[in-house]
Every structure is written in C-alpha cells, then in structure tokens.
Chains A and B, each alone.
Chain A
Amino acid sequence: MPVNHTVSAKKLALTFSGEKNQELAQKIKMIRTESISKIYRSKEVETIALNQVSINIESGEFLSVMGPSGCGKTTLLNVLGLLDVPSQGAYFFQGKNMVELNEKARSEIRRKEIGFVFQSFNLIEELTVYENIELPLIYLDKPRKERRALVEQVMDRMKMSHRHKHFPSQLSGGQQQRVAVARALVNSPSVILADEPTGNLDSKQGNEVMDLLAQLNEQGTTIVMVTHSAHDAAFSSRIIRLLDGELLSENRTSQNELVW
C-alpha cells in the first residue's frame, strides 16, 4: 500500500525553509550520474552491463529501479554503492566525483554515507542481532557507549530489542531483513541502497519490510531500491526502468510529487 509521501517532504522542506530553500535543495542532489557505462570484458566477449546511464536522485527521494533479469539493475546499484566503478562516465555523490577515488576513500564514504539491504539479508551468521547491527559502527570507530546507544535505539525502532541475543539462523526471513535494515540504518546514512529486499520473503513479510522502508523514507532517508516487483515499486516516489543496460523510461508514481 503506497504511503503518502508529503509528510517527509514537508519535513525536509521545513529543514530547508527560508529564502535559501530553493538554492540549498539544488545542492542536495544526492546522486548524479553522467552517462555511466559498465563494460565487462573477458578474453573474447564484451558484455555491456550499463550503457550511458544518466540519473539524478534527490535527497529524500525513494527511487525504484526495475527491469528484467540481466538488464543491469544490480550493476547500477553496485556502482551507486561504490562497490563497483563505472568503465566510463562520471558519478557524483553529494556533489563529489566518485570515479577518481581510490578503494580506501570509497570504503570510507560507504562506511559513513551508505546503507545496504540485500535480497539474501547478508547477515553474518556468527554474530548476534545486536552485533550484526553494531558492525558498521565498529568500522566507524565509534566508542562503545555510543555504539550501544545507537544500536539500542535502532533495535527499538525496528522492534527487534527482544531478540538482540539471537543469531540470524534463529530468526524468520522477515525478522532477518528487519535486522539488515537496522544495520543499514544504524550509522544514519544519507542513502540506503536496497537490492530486491523482499525477493526472499513471502508476501506478508515482504509487505512489512516495504512498510518499514517507506517509513524510513518518510523520516527523510533517501532510498534507492532495485526490484522486480511492481507492487514493491509502487511504494517509491519514482521508478526508472532499464533494459539491456540502457535507461528506458522514467516515471513518477502518480500519488507522489516531489517538492523540488
């Protein structure tokens, strides 16, 4: 069930109220790609995974990327998440060019600014719920007390506090994905990248997760989600479609209008 998005938009608008509102909002282009391409080369074959894709994602937006298998959705998400580098083109994250950064700088941005949610949850099996959520904070070198406060806060928000000592294998798929979302959220990233977050869940659990993401977006988090499901995509404010690595079309979901 799509959520009314104006609440969060208002919130943001409030944040940037005043005369400079328009100007600031321009600057807060979270993500901008200029004709990025990704070409995989093996000895004899060249595969074009992304072909000249240019997109803009504003702060506070909830964008869905759709398309058939092999269309380049995940590649695009990996590039946006700084897990992969484009072969050509430019990629600006919060106005900074990412293409020139080395692995260390990229991993630092990943650490601070980006949260990931995966189809297969990707929790570490040997860590408890609490420890899984805590992990990004450890890599941020946050002190123990602060880590505890943040983890407890986010667990509370995700309604996972009562399960903080459980291991992933002791949770249902939906619960695991909630932990994954909590982990993606705990360091207050500017953007959450979700790769088919409901792909491994039944419809009830899937809906719960989508509600959660929509809520987060409402509270101001930018979300980019790759999905096969039109149902899930309907939660977002904008959908782009890819086919064979190329951007096909862009449409805003009917009920949601962007502020800027």
Chain B
Amino acid sequence: MVRLWANLVFTVRLLRRHRLYSLISLAGLTAGISACLLLGMYVVDEVTFDNFHPEKEKIYRLSTKGSNITAGLTGLPIGPMIAEENQEIESVVRLLSYGKRVDVQRDQIHYNENGILYADSSFFSVFGYELIQGQAEQVLNRKEKIVLSQSMVEKYFPEGDALGKGLQVNGKVYQVSGIMADVPSNSDLQFSALVSMEDLNPQWAQVFNQDLFRIVCFTYLKFHKTPDPASLQASLDAFGEKHIRPWAEQNGSEEMYYYEAVPIEAVHFDHTNEFDSPKGNYTYVQIFGLVALFMLIIACINFINLSLARSAERSREIGIRKTLGAGKSSIRLQFFLETFIMSLLAYAISLILVELALPSFNQMAAKSFSLSILLQGKVILLSLSIIIAVSVLSASYPAFILSSFEPIHVLKGRLPRLGSSGLVRKSLLVIQFAFSMAMILGTLVVGQQMRYMKGQDLGFSHDPLLVYRIPSDTSFQRNLSGILKDIERLPSVENVALSSNVPGQGFGELMVRVETKNKLHEATMRYMSVDQDYLKTMDLNLIQGRNFNPDSAQDYSKAFIINQKTAEVYNWGSDAIGKRIQIGLLADDQATVDGKVIGVVEDFHFESLHHPVEPLAIQFTNSFVAYLTIKVRSDFSFTEEKIGSIWQKHDPGRITESFYLDEGFAEQYKTEERMVKIVGFLALLSILVSALGLYALTAFNLKQRTREIGVRKVLGANASDLAWIISSEFLSLLGLAFLLAVPFSYYLLIQWLDGFAYSISLDATYMLITAGIASLVTMSIIAYHAFKASEASAIYALKYESG
C-alpha cells in the first residue's frame, strides 16, 4: 500500500515533469480504452439479445422451411400440433401481429400503433418480460383483455392509473388487465401491447387454422428441460412427415414445409428468415469486437513504444536506483505500478469521454446505452481486470528493458543501446501502422460503396416524392377519394398516386404461374398494386404496351404490368404483351386471378441495392392501398402543412405519417451508414494514436542519434537532409505495414461487398489514397522533428554524448 502510494505520487510528478510524453501516452491509452468500452458495450449488447429470459435455454422459436421460403413464422395451428406430439414441450406461445396501423383511441387521445400483438395466455410464464401489474397467468386468459407497456400507459392514461380501464383498439373496447415494463431494447420481439389470441377474428382464425401453409405467426416452444438438438430436429422432421405431407397431398400442393427450432438466444443472428424482425449482423459484431481488441492492443503498443522512447530519459533515474541497491524486480514492480496508475487514470478519463460520446454513439449505433451500464459492480470488476491486463501487457516489455540498464553506462549520461528492442519496436510500429491503414482502407471503401448506392439511378423519379401511409381501417379507406380530390386541387401538387407498396418499404412475394413456351410454369414474383397515376407519378418508363385504363373493368381483374426483368427471365423479349400470369393459385392450373401482360416498365430498384432487381408483377387497383405518393412541384413545407389540414378535415384527430421516398429508401442503408460512421471514427482515432506513437518514436530515434546528427549538422546538413535521414527508416516500415494491411483488408472488404448485388469494384485507387494518407501523416511528423533538430544547437548535440 505504501509503495502504491509512493508510486502514485512519483507517477503524478513524472507526468507533470514530462507533460508532452504524458499527454501522448495518456491520450493513446484513453483513446484505446474509450473505443474499447464503446464497442464493447455494442458487442455485449448484440450478443446478449434475448438473454434476459430466465429459462432461455429451454425456449426455442420455430421456423418454416419450404422449397422457396424460409420464415421465422409458422402456420397458426402448427405450435399446438407439435406440442401435442412432443411430451417434452411445456408450453407454446404464438404471437400474431394485430396489424400495421392499428387505430387506438381513448377519449380524445388517438394514435396509429403498430406494436400490438395477439398472444397466447402462457406468454408471461414463458418469457422474462417484466409484468408490473397483473397476474402472469390471468392477464391474457380471455377475450377483451389488453396488457400495455408503460410507455403506452403514459401515452393513453396520462393520469397514471390504467389497470381495469378501457381502451379502444380498432373500434373494439379492451380492458387493461396488466401493465408491463417497456420491452428491453436488446429483445428481438418489440411490442407495446398484447391482447389475447382469443380475440382473433373467428373468420380469420378459421382460415388460419385450416391452412397449415399459411405462415402467419411467431411460434415459441418452451421445453421442460433443455432439449437435445438432434433429437428435437428428428421429432420435428417426423412431425412434418406425419402431419404436413398428408395435408399437402390432400390439398394438391407440390410444396412441402418442414420445421426447425432455433434457440431464442440465436434468433438475433438468424438471417435465413424472411418476414422477420430486423436482425443483428454477426459479421459486424465480429468486426467490432475485433476492432475493439485491436484498439486496445494499439493503445498498448503505443504505450510500449512511448515508454521505450522515454526510457532514455528514465535511464538515469533507474541507474541511480540500481546503484543504490534496487534489484531488477523492484524496478519492474515500480514500472508496472506506474503503468497501472496511468491505465487507471486513462480509464477514469475514458469514462468521462464515453459519457460525452454516448449520445452520438447511440445515434450511430442505434442503441440506447447509458454510462450506468459501465458502472455496475460486475462491469467495473471486468474493466479493472482488463486494466490490469493492459498494464501487464504495456509494462512488461519496457520494464524488462529498463530494468536491464547497466548503471555504470547510464550514469555517465551514455544512452543505453537498445539493441534487440529495436526489432521489437519496429515490429510494434509496423502492426500499428498496418492496423491504421486497414482502417483507412476500410473507411474509404465502405464510404465509397455508400456513395455509390446513394448515387445510383434507382430507375424512378429524381424529384422529391412525398409519401403518406394510409391507415388500413375501412372507414378511412372510404374517405380516401375525398382526400385525394382535395390534395389534387392544391396548386403545388403535380401528381397523386395510390399503391400497395413503395420502393424501399418492403415488397411481398407471391406464388404465381407464368406462361413459358405456351405452358404455365410455377414461380415466385414480387408483387404490388397501383392506380392509373402511379407510373406517371413515379416517372416509370413504359417500354412495351400501355398503362392501366380506369374505364376498363378487364384491367382491374385481368391485367398485369411487369418489369423488364420478368420479360428477361422468361425469355419474352419484346413479345411480352399478352403473356399469361396467374396469382391466387388453385389446383389444376386454376387461379383466382388469371390475367395477361398489358405493359412492360423499365426496371427500377424497389429494394435496396443489396438485392438484385427481381421479376415484378403490378396489378391495377383502387382499393386496399397503403401508400399515397405525391409529386410536389414547389413549396414543400407549405404543401405538407396544407395536406395535413386536408387530412384533419376528412378524419379529425388522426395523426398522419409521411416521409420523402428517397429518404425512406435510404433508410435501408442504416446499418451500413452506422458502420461507415463507426469505422470512420475509429479510423480517425487509430490514425491519431499511431501518429502520436510515431511522434514519440521519431523523437526517440533522434535522441539516440543526437551525436550523428550533430556531426552531420556541423558538416552542413540542413532540415531536408535530416528529414531524409530520419524518414528513410520509417518509410520502409510504413511500406512493410502497407504490404501487411492490404491483402488482409482487401479480403474482408471483398466479403463485405459481396453482400451487395450492386457494388463498386476494388481497384488500386483506394490503396494509393491509403498509402498517400499514411505517408502524409508520417512525413509531416518527421518533417516537424527534422526542422526542430536543425534548429537546435549542434554544439549541445556534440557535447551530449561525450561523457
């Protein structure tokens, strides 16, 4: 304890005496630890998704696998059917969305909600979501009960007390039977209210229960004890053969569905499913984890290099201590304690930095972290052990070098020759450079890919298109024509169109039959329905045939417009008009809609550039639309205001949701946007740390060569000559680092770019820019030192080593 205190005092004095080095050392460590803390929070949060359920190892989610579909959903009766067969299953919870824009109202408070789920009554006994008021078994055990999250209570019951009160959902009154804490952000299931599965419309329930292939709900199974994966899969396969195959045959389907159970903890990274909640990206988690580790290692390397650089200055003190009888171990202990104190200080500063950085980091990473996460006992203990590890890692090598100084040499003022340490130092520098260059390269390429995607012609209008979500309730849909007429009348509005989908907001997939070589061929196609003004509003180019005609009854039921890609895939060429397409398939080549192609539009990107353009079938409709797209000529905010008041006039109390189509489309690149920001920020940080390290090492190098430089100066060398002398060594190290960084990061980046259907090609430009940035940083640091060395007195330099 005494020694720790004495060392603390000593370290603080050292820090004060050598302010610049201290600042650089501390800055490097702080940067590394801060980055590590932030990324660590991100990584831990991602890998602990749905970790809070008390018996999580017993909870599995079912997914459905068919020849052309993999979904994290199942048919409504599947869960209970499986449970009936399998005695190891304790309970089943099915969750079904209440709808996307559910009309929720209490007195004057009226919103559209999309977080309401139908749930089985076992919900709270299976999951760990916290029920604050109400009995777990009773809150959902019969009709017309609703469990609200705390935020919902605050929204609809500002007076606070909600239990037992009524709330209107899509016109039906529910009684609040329970209140739950808001769903934790690290849960894949995000919802704001639950109603009993018994409230499901009986007609729908009947349709869903009869059609095993109608995949509509999440199905969670809870087992009595953790199941054996192999035997569980075997029993699910057996279930498929026993129940699903006969049903499929009976119903004349060529398709067969199988089921798989995914542990709830693995669901977050399970990307195989369609129609699922937004998922974590395990690659990014791995990359961030790796980067966090690297940032810490870089900080340690930086610290080591700085310590070695400072060892010349420290050598005298150590010489004295050794002369006075200090053993190697006591010198090492002293150095370790110094480093530990430094790391601790850096950690404390990091906590402040993290607190300052959290708002922007949360925004970048779409998280809602707070500093309190880092201040829990367990986390502090973990951090402390990391700090100790960092100290040991950073202290051991310099301590070894410092403690081996021979006092008779250093006391004469002769700088110790760090023979073998030169290689270590150089290797460390190369690693540091390589990492920084990899980060620069990554930032350049990821950033360029983002720019490329955003700059890509998506095939539809470049003008700003204002999109409104249309509430689904029938009363509103009935009002729609009135609203449309009023909006069309606004002078600043050029066009108005209705559609079931808009680009960037998700497109359904349909089983279809299409005509190929005079035969009908089963396939899947993307699907949307639009009104007659959609093509014009969106500036979609018709390249064959014609648009829908509102006066033709035939067009409503039997006409399709397809995209170019469809014509390409089915080899229709310029002959697409008149080809048959069926949707709503029935047996024996019958279908509810059997229509013909009347037009072909140029391909446009209705999904993000991660995906290639797929065949699309567009149908004509004037009902059941979800989006209103408006082309505005001018006065955007004024027009928006006007449209808002029109909306209010026709449907008082409704809160409208609108967005610009291009912005909505760009939302799809959110994960990548985050990646760019985080990687860019880290690249900057790592360059900074490396630059600081380089700064110190150059200083060290110069100090070791004081005499040589003094002699050169006496003989007439100027700043640029000196710069060349110093830089030749560093530049070759830089080159080596470059050779290390490029293949590794190119490999990772190619993998990353593979995730996009449309991507930039990796050429040498990025390498050149990276090399350029790295050389520029290196050369400016060296130039600074060379200039300083050339300004210094040569006499001092020559006297310096003569002792």
Using a CB–CB cutoff of 8 Å, the interface residues on chain A facing chain B are: 74, 78, 81, 83-84, 103-104, 107-108, 110-112, 116, 118, 120, 122-127, 131, 135-136, 138-140, 144, 183
Contact = CB atoms under 8 A, between A and B. Distances in A.
Given A111-B325, A126-B10, A120 B413 contact: yes
Given A83-B407, A118-B411, A120-B413, A136 B10 contact: no
Given A116-B324, A126-B17, A135-B324, 14 more contacts: A78-B408, A103-B328, A107-B327, A120-B411, A122-B319, A122-B320, A122-B411, A124-B321, A135-B321, A136-B324, A139-B324, A139-B326, A140-B325, A144-B2
A38 to B, nearest CB: 11
B554 interface: no
A110 B319 CA distance: 13
Interface residues of B, number: 25
Given A125-B17, A127-B10, A83 B324 contact: no
Given A78-B408, A84-B408, A118-B411, A124 B317 contact: yes
B322 interface: yes
B155 interface: no
A83 B320 contact: no
Nearest to B13: A126
Contacts of A111: 324-325
Nearest to A123: B320
Given A83-B408, A126-B10, A126-B17, A110 B323 contact: yes
21 contacts: A74-B412, A83-B408, A108-B325, A110-B323, A110-B324, A111-B325, A116-B323, A116-B324, A118-B411, A120-B411, A120-B413, A123-B320, A124-B321, A131-B6, A135-B320, A135-B321, A135-B324, A139-B326, A139-B327, A144-B2, A183-B324
Given A118-B411, A120-B413, A139-B330, A107 B322 contact: yes
Nearest to A124: B317
A197 to B, nearest CB: 14
B750 interface: no
B14 interface: yes
Nearest to B3: A138
Of B2, B322, B325, most A-chain CB atoms within 10 Å:
B325
A125 B13 CA distance: 9
A78 B321 CA distance: 15
A188 B406 CA distance: 25
Interface of B: 2, 6, 10, 13-14, 17, 316-317, 319-328, 330, 406-408, 411-413
B327 A104 contact: yes
Of A108, A139, A140, most B-chain CB atoms within 10 Å:
A139
Given A139-B325, A140-B325, A126 B14 contact: yes
Of B10, B320, B328, most A-chain CB atoms within 10 Å:
B320
Nearest to B2: A144
A83 B327 CA distance: 13
Contacts of A124: 317, 320-321
B76 to A, nearest CB: 76
B10 A83 contact: no
Contact of A122 (B10, B316, B408): B316
Of B323, B408, B413, most A-chain CB atoms within 10 Å:
B323
A103 B331 CA distance: 14
Q: Which 5 A-B pairs have the closest CB atoms?
A: A111-B325, A126-B13, A139-B325, A83-B408, A136-B324
Contacts of A103: 328
Contacts of A122: 316, 319-320, 323, 411
Contacts of B6: 131, 138
Contacts of B326: 107, 139
Contacts of B413: 120
Contacts of B17: 125-126
A122 to B, nearest CB: 5
Contacts of B411: 118, 120, 122
Nearest to B320: A122
Nearest to A79: B408
B408 A107 contact: no
Nearest to A109: B325
B672 to A, nearest CB: 50
A122 B323 CA distance: 10
Contact of B325 (A107, A123, A127, A131): A107
A21 B322 CA distance: 37
A136 B325 contact: yes
A135 B323 CA distance: 11
Contacts of A140: 325
A19 B683 CA distance: 83
A123 B327 CA distance: 18
Nearest to A111: B325
B151 to A, nearest CB: 56
Nearest to B323: A116
A233 B14 CA distance: 38
A131 B407 CA distance: 20
Nearest to A122: B320
A123 B408 CA distance: 15
Contacts of A131: 6
A151 to B, nearest CB: 14
B681 to A, nearest CB: 36
Contacts of A144: 2
Contacts of A107: 322, 325-327
A137 to B, nearest CB: 10
A107 B411 CA distance: 16
Contacts of B408: 78, 83-84
A65 B579 CA distance: 114
A83 B324 CA distance: 10
Contacts of B327: 104, 107, 139
Nearest to A169: B17
Nearest to B325: A111
Contacts of B316: 122
A120 B411 CA distance: 9
A162 B317 CA distance: 25
A83 B323 contact: yes
A101 B316 CA distance: 25
A108 to B, nearest CB: 7
Nearest to B14: A126
A84 B408 CA distance: 7
Contacts of A84: 408
B251 to A, nearest CB: 87
Contacts of B322: 107
B233 to A, nearest CB: 65
Nearest to A78: B408
Contacts of B412: 74
A207 to B, nearest CB: 25
A126 B7 CA distance: 11
Contacts of A83: 323, 406-408
Nearest to B326: A139
Contacts of B13: 126-127
